[in-house]
Each structure stands twice: as structure tokens, then as C-alpha cells.
Structure 1
Amino acid sequence: MKALLEESLYGQMDLIVVGEVEPLKRHIEACRLPVSVSENTISLPNGLQVPLQVVPALEDQDWQFGKVSSVTGLACYRYAEAAIEMAKSQSVTAVVAAPHTEAAVNAAGIQFRGYPGLVAELTGTPADKTFLMLMSPVYRVVNVTLHEPLKEALIRLDGPLILNALRATRDALIALGLPGGRIGVCGLNPHAGEGGLMGAEEGLFIRSAIGDAVEEGINAYGPYGADALFADREFDAYLAMYHDQGHIPIKVASPRQASAITIGTPVLFGSVAHGSALDIAGKGLATPAAMVQALKNIANGK
């Protein structure tokens, strides 16, 4: 609701909100926002009106601000599901989603580890060809593995998965107007394994995946130690092997300015790169900066 008050958005895109009247009204009242909601319209103080696509998920079920519950988890899932279906039918060009709480969605009995997996499932895209790209004014970072325990990520990492990630990154850079973009690849271990002294994965499959990508015409380089690679800032995109390796540098370099874009699927889907901030829900303290930036990134293609 705060992002809708950003007037600079309206010359760049047409917005449709997917959700329900009752939770929107409760947030507007609690946060004292100058916005009103009717059955199918959100009215702004400058006279603009934004269509509301109602998805009846919460209905009359009880929920509280900042509390994880199966009720709110299912609603989050249903809103995202409806928006993705709208994109599949081409009634909208793209989807930008608010942050989710994975614990709440899983409490509803839905196996869920983030939006990329949901987009893959609903579009029939293999999970091993769907990835997350974090974009900020400083970096574009793609994660080979994402929301999974580190020990599971290490088991799943292999050459074919890394090659798929490099292909998806190449395609995303083309879509962003950067054909031939240069991709820097992180090693898994400190110092990219230090020639095998600190780990063997670089020699076992990371280098060969990069070599296969280069043979396909992908401008991939590495593997490099992640600390040195992100310090250089000379690549158009960076490939991280696991969640924190990619998320930490982009959030340190661009706090509240990063967007999370699902790549490798036929639906253009983005979100913010931060969580739900349950401790301040309903208090009017959250900044809409990342949501505004995500909307602009999707609309502008960069």
C-alpha cells in the first residue's frame, strides 16, 4: 500500500493488486495510510485508482499482525498462485510479489521453499532449470542453490546444475539488454579451493561446467574466491553456489534496494530481497523502497 503512493511508478506501468479487501483495510487503518479500498478498487489521495483482483483466501478466518499461521500462509500462496496464472494467461505482463514467510506457507501443508520453486511448479518448468537472480544498483547475483540447508545444497551441487544456472543467467542478461554479458563464477570453497588444499569441488565439477558453458558461447569466468570476486565488481552477473554466498554481498552493498527475479521460467516474476519483518507488521514502520525498486526493475528490464 505504501508503494502505491509512489507517484513515479505510474508513468512506467499499469498496476493491479491481487489480494483481499479485509486484510488490506486492516493494514491501511493500522498504518494510517491515506488510501481507501472498495470491492474492486484501491483509491489514492491524488485521485488515481488501482484495480484490485480479489482472491478469497482469508475470508472470515482470524489472523493477527506478525503472527505465523497456516491461515496467512495459505493466503500468501493463493495470492501468488492467482497472479502467476494471470501472467500465464497474458492478462498481465509480469508479477511482483511482496515478501513471504516460508514457515507460514509450510504450516498450511504446502511444501514451499520460496517463490522460484512455486513459479517453476505452476509453469511446468523443471526445478533444476529455475533460479533466483538478485538485482541491485551494484550487483546481479544468481544462486545455484537457494532455500535449503547447506548440507543439502552441497549434495545437490554438480556440473549439470551449474551449467543450467549459467544458461539461465545468460538468457536473463539477454532479456535485460546485455547480450554477451560477462558472468563471474564463485568457487564453493575458500580461495576457490586453493588448488585442492581447501576442497576439491572446483576441480571435480565447477571448472568443467564453466568450460562447457564457454563452449556454448557463454562468457563465463572462474571459479574465483567469492570474496575477491565480489570485491572486483567487474562482471555483469555473478554466480553464487549457495544462499549466503550470494545474498550477503548484495544486501551489504545495496540495503533495501535489491530485487529478487525468478529466471529460467516463461513467467516474469520478481519480489523484494528482504523478509517479512514480522516484528513491525501493522506498525507502519516498514519502508516500501525495495518494493518500489522491484516494480521499476521489472518494468524497465534492469
Structure 2
Amino acid sequence: MSAPLVITMGDACGIGPEIIAKAFASGQAEGAFVLGDAAVMRRALAQVGRGTALALIDSPRDVGACPPNCVALVQARGLPVDLPQAGFGRVDARAGAAAAACIEQAVALVQAGQARAIVTAPIHKEALSAAGVSFPGHTEMLQALAARPGEAPPPVRMMLANDELRTVLVTIHLSLRRAIDAVTQDGVLETLRITDRAMRAFGIAAPRVAVAGLNPHAGEGGLFGDEEQRIIGPAIAAARSEGIDASGPFAPDTVFMRARHTAAHPGEFDVVVAMTHDHGLIPVKYLGVEQGVNVTLGLPFVRTSPDHGTAFDIAGTGRADASSLVAALRMARRLSS
């Protein structure tokens, strides 16, 4: 059998363990194992209450030998011994430390060929910070861990995708004021290159890339800002000279409608590149977080995740929907096959 998928447990105080348990209970996590804490996952399985058992394994190689209707779990090393005491729905440094440890060990497994892709359950940025972790989120941490000793981290980009729309971001976890300053010609061009390569890897032979502007109406010829003329337009021209089918910049309030693909309305574009986090993610999430998948482009391995967070407001209630995690598992299988 090929190497399995590794699912990191996420924040123990959030819905990550619950949606993992539900994915396994529904039979939609075949060929995967969890890297996390046995006691926390047992708590989640008891909460789900579908008769699914936990199978502790020593190595990813043992996934195929696990009996049906069970969650295969490798106990992550160095987790806080009192992690199961962390309550639901709150920021806890123990949960942040455990989440970071699982991510780090998952990367080591995929780099060693023991796992073929990583699917990450949601983490909480405040919990990471409380644990002393310097990375603001998954993307930045995975980027750093992917670097070989003595080499610079690879350039990466966040993509959020569902069946109707794909969006790639030039900037991610920055304040809006800082994000605007971070939109540079080199950064936009690099995003277009990464996006084009990724779409081709996904099986789109000639990707059509739409580029959203930064300002209202894409600047309206400089009336509402000149970033489109100074930065974004020249980056698009440079990308086109390299054979990338990039077009724009388009008004960000309408380009997503043009790119959305449905049976009644085939999309004009295969993917949209947006300048800032909320510009790009709001349209995709509005279509429904239950099918959205976050994919980190540019890594030397496949990483996907649900497009929602830890949902502290419903953690521990049994009401979490595992659909986005199931979609992330499906995407990881497809991209790593």
C-alpha cells in the first residue's frame, strides 16, 4: 500500500478532534492516521458516540493492519502530559504547544516518505502565541519547516478552493495596513508563477488566471489608487511574457462572480489571485465553509486543511460538521496520487 495521509489533531480545545472522529466514523478517512494525543482523541470519540474505537500504532506502516471502524493514531512525542485537562472553547497554551508539536512531527514524517500528504485540523493562533510559538499560522510554520538546512524557505501561497471557486492570496496573515504595503510587483509575479504551476499540477493544462485589483473598481484608472498601474498591471504583463495566461487587474467586487463555476454558469477563469486575505477568502467562504479546502501552494509536499477555524463557540457540543475536513482529505488524496 502507498504511504498514508497524516492528519494533525489541531487544537485540543477546538473542534479538530471531533471532526476527525466523525470523518473516521463515516468511513471517509481511509488510508489515513492521526498524529496527536490518545486521551484527547478518546474524549472526542466518546463525544461522537458512534462505536468507533481508537487503535494506537507505532508507525504509519501499521495503518493497513488496523481493524475496520477504528481511528489509527500515532502518539505525538513531547505533548503536555496534562493536555486532556485543557477545557473546550478557550485559549490554552498547552493546546497551542501540542498543535505545534504535531505539525512539526508530521512534516518530518512526510519528508521521510512515511506519509504522502498532510491534512491539518484547525489550530488557534492565540494558543500558538501563548505557547511561545513565533509563527502566526499553519502556512508560515509549514513554510519554515519545509526549508532544507542552510536554505531559504520556499515561497508559498494560500489557496482556498471549493467546487465552484479557487482563490490564491498574495498576502495572508498581516494587518490590512501592512498587507497593502506588502503588495509588490515581485510578490504578485511570484504568486502568478506559483498559481500557474499549481493549476497545471492539478490537471488544468492551460490555466486561466484572473487577477483582482487592490482598490475599488481596480483603481478606476488611478482615481482611487495607483497600485494597479504601478504594481499589479506590470506584474501581469511580466507573467504573460512568460506564457502565463493572467489577465486583469479586475474590480475585486465582480471578478469572483465571473470566475465562479456552476452548471448554469461556466466560469470565465480557473482561479483568482487576490491581493489580501479577506478580499480573497470572503467570496469562497460565503459559498459554504463545509466544502472549502485550504491548500498551501509551493511546498515540496501536499498540505490541505478545512477552511474553517477551531469554532470554540461549539467545541464540545457534538455539533461540528466534518464536511470540510472530508473535502480536505479527498483533495489531499487527489493531489498526492
The TM-score, its normalising length taken from structure 2, stands at: 0.84
| Counterpart check, 1:53 vs 2:79 | no
Tell me the SS of whatever aligns to 1:280.
coil
Residue 63 of structure 1 and its aligned partner are, at CA, apart by 1.0
2:303 aligned to which of 264, 269, 275: 269
Choose the corresponding residue for 2:169, options 136, 143, 146.
143
| Pairwise CA distance, 1:66 | 1.3
1:175 to 2:201 alignment: yes
Q: What is the rounded CA distance, in whole Å, between the counterparts of 2:212 and 2:231 in structure 1?
A: 13
- The percentage of aligned residue pairs carrying the same residue is 33
Q: Does residue 53 of structure 2 align to residue 6 of structure 1?
A: no
Report the equivalent of 2:182: 156
User: What is the SS of the residue equivalent to 1:75?
Assistant: helix
What are the Cα deviations for residues 12-40 of structure 1, in whole angstroms up to 9, with x where unaligned? xx111111101111222234342222433
Gap change, CA 1:167 and 1:3, over 3 Å in 2: same
How many residue pairs get aligned? The number is 296
Structure 1 runs, 4 residues or longer, greater than 4 Å off: 125-128
Aligned: 1:27 with 2:50: no
Please give the root-mean-square deviation of Cα atoms over the aligned residues, in Å: 1.9
Whether contact under 8 Å (2:34, 2:73) holds in the other structure is yes
Unpaired runs of at least 5, structure 1:
none
1:212-237 Cα distance to aligned partner (Å, 9 max, x none): 11111111110000111111121111
Match of 2:263 in 1: none
The alpha-carbon distance between structure 1 residues 47 and 128, as it changes in their structure 2 partners (threshold 3 A), is closer
Q: Is the 8 A contact 2:25 2:50 kept in 1?
A: no
Question: In 2, distance between residues paired with 1:103 and 1:217?
Answer: 42
Matches within 5 A, 1:118-137: 118-124=141-147, 126=152, 129-137=155-163
**Of 65, 80, 97, the match for 1:74:** 97
2: CA distance, partners of 1:172 / 1:193: 29
Gaps of at least 5 residues in structure 2 are 1-20, 260-267
- Give the counterpart letter for 2:207 in structure 1: G
SS in 2 for 1:3: helix
Give 1:80 shift: 1.2
The question of 1:242 aligning with 2:268 is answered no
Instruction: From the superposition, tell whether residues 33 and 102 of structure 1 become closer, same or farther in structure 2 (CA, over 3 Å).
Output: farther
Tell me how far apart the structure 2 counterparts of residues 4 and 96 of structure 1 sit (CA, whole Å). 14
CA distance in 2, matches of 1:110, 1:218: 37
Given that residues 137 and 254 in structure 1 are in contact (C-alpha distance below 8 angstroms), is that contact kept between their aligned partners in structure 2? Answer: no
Classify 1:224/1:262 alpha carbon distance in 2 versus 1 (closer, same or farther; 3 Å).
Answer: same
Q: Is the 8 A contact 2:212 2:252 kept in 1?
A: yes
- Residue 223 (structure 1) aligned with residue 249 (structure 2): yes
2:116 is the counterpart of 1:88: no
What SS is found at the alignment partner of 2:313? helix
